[in-house]
Amino acid sequence: MHLLEILSWLILALPLAAFAVQMAVGARLPRYGDFISIGAISLSLVFCLLVFFRVIVLEYSPDYVFAVSYPWFSGGSIEFRWGFYIDNVTAFMLVVVGVVSTLVHIYSVGYMHGEENYHRFFAYLGLFSFSMFLLVLCDNLFTLYIAWELVGVSSYLLIGFYYTKHSAANACIKAFLTTRVGDVFMFLGILLLVLYTGQLAYHDVFNAVAHGEISGTVLTIAIVCLFGGAVGKSAQFPLHVWLPDAMEGPTPVSALIHAATMVAAGVYMVGRMFPMFSQSAEAMLVIAYIGLITAFFAATIAITQNDIKRVLAYSTISQLGYMVTALGVGAYTAGLYHLMTHAFFKALLFLCSGSVIHAAHTQDMREMGGLRKKMPITFATMLIGTLAIAGVPFFSGFGSKDAIMAGALAFGSEHGAHMTIFIGLFVAAGMTAFYMFRLIFMTFYGESRNQHSYDHAHESPASMTVPLLILAVLSIAGGFGLYGGLWFNHLVVPPALQEAAHAAAEHGGEHGGAHGEAWIHYGAMGLSIFVAALGIFLSWVVYGVKWISAEKTAAAIRPIYQLSFNKYYVDEFYQKIVIAFVLWIRKVLAAFDRIVIDGIVNLTAPLMRGGATFSGGFDHYVVDGVLNLGALIVQAAGSVSVMLQNGVIQSYILKAAIAAAVILVVHQYIQFWL
């Protein structure tokens, strides 16, 4: 076995084993077995790093691929296989998932301390990590779908961890159902691909696409359907409604699943299927605009929210929109780069917010204030995360976001009509800086607005602050080698269809980023620095020194404020539309029943009357003579058969088994005689 194969198995097996152990005996172990989960995930992380080291450092090549597959099942003449597929993207995703997962495990020791079902929480985390690793490692669409659903299930379990809390129970169902809507589309997409190509493995599918086995409108439909899965999982408009509600789950869960890993799965999938996706310009445009709408509107909502976790939730949706847009405009490297940097700084922000909530015992930012002095580490790390997401130079978010903007600008300069994408992203970047610093100012600066909780606030234990520090370092370090992601660019090269590699290269797989013209690159960089500075400044004016009153401004633009505060009424819209639709369908069905079916029935009445008259003349005495023939003799024989039929099912089965054995024996003897 190849080393990578062994490592892949181990990476998968350890969290799964931890899950099994925790579910089985976790409650009876000392410390409720948290050390088992942490040990398992840490080892997995070590193996992930080994894979990374091997793939990226030792055997680096831009199109490094390691693939191994095993027979799975066969039907007819098709044989299905599943296996591992490791390239540079896989390697870096493994590290992202491993690092965040491990840190969240450790953080949870402090955060979940003393909770009921503590061991089960770790079990679910293990299940989630396993599913996520599987999703990253697998080499075919079907396994991807299974992992996809497993991730959904563990997310469901974790959101609903406080299942006695009504809102949490509702939220987990909502999350599951909403993402299912996307998953149905994804499944349809997979089915379409399998129907047309007969293949499941990524590479075989790509080859089939390169050979034109599926193309044109069908390919576009298949891609858009597949993307539907990403819309659900990555909380893109219009299926984003579940993510803010999912914040009902414990905060480490929000950090792990709803910021860094699971929600990025959709982006990862799009990236994985990129060679195929890029074959359909229409589909790519759909993707770009869905991403843009998401990025923009989620940012406007985040400005008005008061719940610290909801601000972060909408910010996550918005950032995911950025990644999706990046992939849509062909800035493949930038999208994945942002996925990585975002995973680190958003996990950091969530964990910081958890630390704040842990101390202040509230999630409402209006109740906080001045926490800077009480919680210096949390404050410092959260500030780093905020600077990163706002796109301030020398922090990780800057490089990645800048690359996306450059990609969008390049796309816009190529297709003038789509400059909207760049402008939308540009404005959204300003809003990002604004609402993130609003969060910082409201939480950590000014006077405390709730003296009681302020007095009780204190810095969190080391198990919580250490992960914060590590993530803070990563949030800065992730940006080194930045400016278009110099090293990352080399790490992750836009893939092309194997057989169509030359053609794809001519078309230019990458529109923006490093390959773009210089003015695009520096223009985008300058603009993004400017807009970030502007956002931060405005935020400082409003929430820092309060030259402008937030309340008065809100009152002045009240309709817009209400729209944003109520999240554009999307939830209400769904409820109204679904109900109206159902009522309408009911009416149609009732009409069908009344007109068509009743009409047929009424027609039959005259037919029946004719039939009745005809049959009246039947001579019934004909049968008389036949009846008494040999009746009594056979009646006696009948009772024997009835005795066997005693109504007891056990005896029936026994009789059948004995009879089968008798047939076997008798048959063998007959064959012998013959």
Q: What three-state secondary structure class fits 306?
A: coil
CB 419 → another protein: shortest distance, Å?
40
Of 216 and 508, which has the nearer Cβ to another protein?
Answer: 216
Q: Is 518 in the site for another protein (CB under 8 A)?
A: no
Q: Is 604 in the site for another protein (CB under 8 A)?
A: yes
Of 559 and 617, which has the nearer Cβ to another protein?
Answer: 617
Choose which of 1, 518, 595, 634 interacts with another protein (CB under 8 A): 634
Choose which of 30, 75, 559, 599 interacts with another protein (CB under 8 A): 75
CB 192 → another protein: shortest distance, Å?
10
Of 559 and 616, which has the nearer Cβ to another protein?
Answer: 616
CB 212 → another protein: shortest distance, Å?
14
Q: Contact 113/13 with Cβ under 8 angstroms?
A: no
Q: Among 71-79, 179-187, 335-343, 483-491, which window interacts with another protein (CB under 8 A)?
A: 71-79
Of 541 and 656, which has the nearer Cβ to another protein?
Answer: 656
Determine the angle formed by the axes of helices 462-477 and 88-111, rounding to 10 degrees. Answer: 150
Cross-strand pairs, 73: 80
Q: Is 595 in the site for another protein (CB under 8 A)?
A: no
Handedness of CA 581, 585, 588, 590 (dihedral sign): negative
Q: Is 6 in the site for another protein (CB under 8 A)?
A: no
CB 149 → another protein: shortest distance, Å?
21
Choose which of 462, 548, 579, 597 interacts with another protein (CB under 8 A): 597
Choose which of 24, 211, 664, 669 interacts with another protein (CB under 8 A): 664
Binding marks (x or -) toward another protein, 175..214, rule CB under 8 A? -------------------xxx-x----------------
Choose which of 76, 114, 416, 599 interacts with another protein (CB under 8 A): 76
Q: Is 217 in the site for another protein (CB under 8 A)?
A: no
Of 62 and 198, which has the nearer Cβ to another protein?
Answer: 198
Q: Among 101-109, 380-388, 477-485, 622-630, which window interacts with another protein (CB under 8 A)?
A: 622-630
Residues 357-370 as b/e (b if ≥16 CB within 10 A, e otherwise) read: bbbbeebebebbbe
Q: Which of 583, 559, 370, 382 is nearest to 465 (CA)?
A: 382
Q: In sequence order, what are the residues at sequence separation of 6 or more whose Cβ sits closer than 8 angstroms to the Cβ of residue 142?
A: 80, 82, 190, 200
Q: In sequence order, what are the residues at sequence separation of 6 or more whose Cβ sits closer than 8 angstroms to the Cβ of residue 576?
A: none
Choose which of 564, 629, 669, 673 interacts with another protein (CB under 8 A): 629
* CA-to-CA separations, 263 to 325, 335, 347, in angstroms, rounded: 15, 14, 12
Q: Is 590 in the site for another protein (CB under 8 A)?
A: yes
Q: Contact 123/154 with Cβ under 8 angstroms?
A: no
Q: Is 458 in the site for another protein (CB under 8 A)?
A: no
Q: How many Å apart are CA 580 and CA 629, to the nearest integer?
A: 69
Helix (H) / strand (E) element for 78: namely strand 78-87
Distance in Å from the first CA to the final CA of the chain? 56
Cross-strand pairs, 86: 66
CB 78 → another protein: shortest distance, Å?
5
CB 599 → another protein: shortest distance, Å?
12
Q: How many Å apart are CA 496 and CA 492, to the nearest integer?
A: 12
Q: Is 77 in the site for another protein (CB under 8 A)?
A: yes
Q: What DSSP character marks residue 234? A: T
Q: Is 376 in the site for another protein (CB under 8 A)?
A: no
Identity of residue 604: T
Choose which of 74, 306, 549, 566 interacts with another protein (CB under 8 A): 74
Q: Is 673 in the site for another protein (CB under 8 A)?
A: no
CB 603 → another protein: shortest distance, Å?
9
CB 671 → another protein: shortest distance, Å?
5
CB 67 → another protein: shortest distance, Å?
24
Choose which of 60, 394, 592, 669 interacts with another protein (CB under 8 A): 592
Of 555 and 580, which has the nearer Cβ to another protein?
Answer: 580
- DSSP letter for each residue of 332-367: HHHHHHHHHHHHHHHHHHHHHHHHHHHHHS--BGGG
Helix (H) / strand (E) element for 136: namely helix 118-137
Q: Is 575 in the site for another protein (CB under 8 A)?
A: no
The count of residues interacting with another protein (CB under 8 A) is 65
- DSSP letter for each residue of 19-72: HHHHHHHGGGSGGGGHHHHHHHHHHHHHHHHHHHIIIIIIT--TT-EEEEEEEE
Q: Contact 107/351 with Cβ under 8 angstroms?
A: yes
Helix (H) / strand (E) element for 74: namely strand 65-75
Of 221 and 286, which has the nearer Cβ to another protein?
Answer: 221
Determine the angle formed by the axes of helices 262-272 and 216-233, rounding to 10 degrees. Answer: 160
446: exposed, middle or buried (Cβ count in 10 Å: 0-12, 13-18, 19+): middle
Q: How many Å apart are CA 380 and CA 295, to the nearest integer?
A: 27
Of 417 and 634, which has the nearer Cβ to another protein?
Answer: 634
Q: Is 559 in the site for another protein (CB under 8 A)?
A: no
Q: How many Å apart are CA 325 and CA 332, to the nearest integer?
A: 10
Q: Among 177-185, 495-503, 520-528, 628-636, which window interacts with another protein (CB under 8 A)?
A: 628-636
Q: Among 349-357, 496-504, 527-535, 588-596, which window interacts with another protein (CB under 8 A)?
A: 588-596
Q: Applying CB under 8 A, which residues contact another protein? A: 74-78, 194-196, 198, 582, 585-586, 589-590, 592-593, 596-597, 600-602, 604-605, 607-608, 611-612, 615-616, 618, 620-621, 623-624, 626-627, 629-631, 634-635, 637-642, 644-645, 647, 649, 652-653, 655-657, 659-660, 663-664, 667-668, 670-671, 674
